[in-house]
Amino acid sequence: MADSVSDREQDSKGVSRLILGAWIGLLAAVVAIVIPVLALMITALAPSGFFSLGTGLLQFSGTLVVVGAVLYIVSLFAYRRAFAALRKADAEFWFASVLCLVGSVGFLLIIVAAAVLAGTASSVLTCVHGAPSHVLGCLESGQPLGAYSALVGFACAWVGGVGVVLGLTLSSDRFARRMIAFGALIYLLFLFALLIPFVELVAKLPGVGYLLVILPVLSIVAPLLVLAGARPVALRLGRSA
């Protein structure tokens, strides 16, 4: 009986932290992905004033990326704490918790990269205007430390995303909530979509432009599905406490 009560307490903590992680992840997606992509689309469709490819827009987007990265760190921390609580009732959650920690390190590196690259915005823009397909090369020539920090940070953050997907999948099985599993699936599609620009550097892919629409949608839908699946579980555990 004691083990059952203890497991229920850990489940309650875990679900509460899942909900917190999803809310903060939703806010991070709006700040770091949705708003910058909207600004980029406006710049592409009707460039004028602030919405033109210049240092002002680049610095604005960089600031949003930094704020969004901080929010994603907090979101990953909440998810990691959720999986740590659930791990006490189910040891399978330990690996997801470790991957989330790696992801937190990745977002810290992205913040460092954004700060370093902010000082070379003009030279990077000049390079990109001359050869738009060589964005990574422009970043590397303008500020190698920032470019490498961004790449390593992205890789670690991507691994952290895998941890979230794994933890949410295990949570779906534990609480028998398909909506959480759907959220994990959308997160996984989002992670694969993030890889497409890197694949595009070595192989031409059709329809890459649609990423400007797909990425914001996926980044918003995934945490909403997690919330829709986790909140009924939290209510049920609260009633049974």
Look up the pTM and report it: 0.82
Where in the chain are the domains? 2-240
Closest alpha carbon to 180 in 112, 111, 83:
83
Residue environment code for 152-162, b if the CB has 16+ CB neighbours within 10 A, otherwise e: bbbebbbbbbb
Separation between Cα atoms, residue 6 and residue 236, nearest integer Å:
16
Residue environment code for 62-96, b if the CB has 16+ CB neighbours within 10 A, otherwise e: bebbbbbbbbbbbbbbbbbbbbbbbbebbeebebb
* pLDDT tens digits, one per residue of 19-78: 999 999 999 999 988 988 888 777 767 666 555 655 666 777 778 888 888 999 999 999
